Amino acid sequence: MDRNSWEVFESVFSDKFLQTSSEVHSLVSNESVICIGLRNGIIQIYDLDTEEQYDLKGHNSTINALCLDGLRLISGGQDSNIIFWDLENRIQEASLPAHVGVITSLSLYNGILYSSGVDCKMNSWNINSIEKTGEVIFESFVCSMKISDGSIFVGLEDGNVEVFDMNLNKMKTFCGHLDAVWCIDCFADIMVTCSYDGTIRLWDIQSTNGRVIGEHDGVVNKVAIFDPSTAGIPLIISVGSDCLVKLWALDNLKETIEFHTAAVSSLAVFDMYFITGGFDNKVRIWSLLNLIKQKTLIRASDNIVDFVPVSNTQIATVEKGSIFVNSSLFIESNMISAVSVSDDGKILIVSEGSAIKWLDLATKKEINSINIGESSNSLISLGDELFILTENFTFKFSQQKGLENLMPGGKSLDINSRYIAKSSEKLDLYDKFLNKLGENQGKYLSIMFSKNAEVLYAATESSIVLLSLPGLLKLCEIQSFRSFKHMKGNGQGNLACYGKYLCLIPQYEIEKQIMLPD
């Protein structure tokens, strides 16, 4: 595979992260730009092709709404104004006072701009003449709008959604939310809404029947429904004041993402990626291809320190110094730091304090024990040999030769039939006879060989780096919101833990061969 192919592969799987100068209150994007509306009244523009960033200044307070019309951007703020921008020349075209008070949303359809505000009005405007063409007055604040299939869906502060035709004639009302409807999206005959009441509702547009499918701990700020599979199997994404991003099927929660450190306020969705923005001054571009291939297997009650698959259906994890199997307490302690399992899956090997213990999995009885003088970061069982990694030493233990000191210690270790890789302040690669083959100056949290022994995965705080073997040359870097502390392979694929979660991650070296053959 050539370098250009690796770069394409990297861009397909990678996430991106942007820092903003103020809290994010709105965003909109197309295939060329991301436009970010900030609390300080600035619109930050990010060019997806050149990665150039620049600012547009015209509002004097928070920007709540944005919409794009090709190279024309339209913004609405708490200053009651709508501003039209020429993105190609980076200039302001026009400004008009559109509402009395805060503008809450903007939608564009067939040359007509629809705006809403806390003055209980929805207005329509000709975007060429910038003249008002219509008005609807409601009994409560208008919080959100969505135009879909020739209908205008309007979310109100009283919890209702009212539907109008394009001539502003009212057609029907959806009732169910207990508080303001912050966002609306549609897919085929399905409408999804989110609310200040903390819930996400799914509706049949024809019958107006609806049901709650999920919730956030606090306000649900934005929601979107789309079909990345193009097979009629939609996904729903929601973001909330609880700092979380959630992915839903039509009937259950699929994934919870912890990245933002303050309320997530904004969301934009595309075929294979989506964008979130929050009050933590961060915007994240998520690779959906990367994300949907990561499946959470275990949600632990505490941070997972280490883990090992003990069978096709069971995984042992180290949490709070104890051993859990599939989240059920198996061995209670407060000193266990690492775990491994024998090749036949019958013996569990644990590092408890400075002791290494062999335990019968069926009876939990201790079979053998040795003392190595300090706790372990990692245990790897290969046949009759056990490799032990501590901060200071790397040991090999066998019944024949006892405990052997192989080399200095480190943070992460992986071994296969050809290589030994160890990460500490740098990454070192050895053959099975301990002859050094190379090194890489990167500082990695964890490392893992691919199944075909051609690639080494190396995890940083925010990415997985793919390194060639034996040269340890960087092939590509897959950005990820997850910081993988441990990675291990088994029959299910590649497993990794981060915080309280254990998940299945993509086998990148296999997928790149399928997607991007030489």
Segment 238-258 shows an average pLDDT of 92
The full length of the chain comes to 518
Segment 462-488 shows an average pLDDT of 88
Answer yes or no: is pLDDT of 46 > 60.
yes
Segment 482-499 shows an average pLDDT of 81
Give percent above pLDDT 70 in the chain: 97
Segment 118-146 shows an average pLDDT of 96
Distances (CA, A) of 312 to 13, 299, 318, 345, 492: 27, 18, 18, 10, 7
Whether residue 437 contacts residue 422, with contact meaning beta carbons closer than 8 Å, is answered with no
pLDDT score for 376? 96
Residue 133 and residue 148: Cα distance in Å, rounded? 20
Answer yes or no: is pLDDT of 352 > 70.
yes
Whether residue 248 contacts residue 238, with contact meaning beta carbons closer than 8 Å, is answered with yes
Q: Which CATH class is domain 3-292?
A: mainly beta
Instruction: Looking at 219-279, list the stretches that DSSP marks H as alpha helix, in order from N- to C-terminal side.
Output: none
Task: Say which residue, 170 or 17, is predicted with more confidence.
Answer: 170
First-residue to last-residue Cα distance in the chain: 5
Residue 338 and residue 26: Cα distance in Å, rounded? 45
pLDDT tens per residue across span 379-404: 999 999 999 999 999 999 999 999 99
Reported confidence tier of residue 346, pLDDT bands at 50, 70, 90: very high
Residue among 42, 122, 121, 46 at smallest CA distance from 83: 42
Question: In this structure, what token pair is assigned to residue 474?
Answer: 């960087």
Task: Say which residue, 517 or 430, is predicted with more confidence.
Answer: 430
Residue 513 DSSP symbol: H
Question: In this structure, what token pair is assigned to residue 402?
Answer: 């006892």
Answer yes or no: is pLDDT of 473 > 90.
yes
Reported confidence tier of residue 2, pLDDT bands at 50, 70, 90: low
Whether residue 122 contacts residue 109, with contact meaning beta carbons closer than 8 Å, is answered with no
Answer yes or no: is pLDDT of 492 > 70.
no
Answer yes or no: is pLDDT of 244 > 70.
yes
Does domain 297-515 match CATH 3.40.50.720? no
- Please state whether the predicted TM-score (pTM) of the whole model is above 0.75: yes
Answer yes or no: is pLDDT of 271 > 60.
yes
Burial (CB count <10 Å: 0-12, 13-18, 19+), residue 209:
exposed
Name residue 74's amino acid: I
Burial (CB count <10 Å: 0-12, 13-18, 19+), residue 172:
middle
Reported confidence tier of residue 433, pLDDT bands at 50, 70, 90: very high
pLDDT tens per residue across span 144-158: 999 999 999 999 999
pLDDT score for 292? 72
Rg (CA), the chain: 27
Instruction: Of 152-161, 239-248, 273-282, 508-517, give the lowest mean pLDDT range.
Output: 508-517
List phi, psi (to 5°) of 4: -60, -40
pLDDT score for 59? 97
Reported confidence tier of residue 515, pLDDT bands at 50, 70, 90: low
Answer yes or no: is pLDDT of 518 > 50.
no
Same fold for the pair 3-292 and 297-515: yes
Whether residue 152 contacts residue 163, with contact meaning beta carbons closer than 8 Å, is answered with yes
Segment 97-117 shows an average pLDDT of 96
pLDDT score for 211? 97
User: SS3 for 508?
Assistant: helix
Segment 403-424 shows an average pLDDT of 95
**Preceding peptide of 309 cis, ω within 30°:** no
Pairing state between β 336-341 and 328-331: unpaired
Annotated domain spans of the chain? 3-292, 297-515
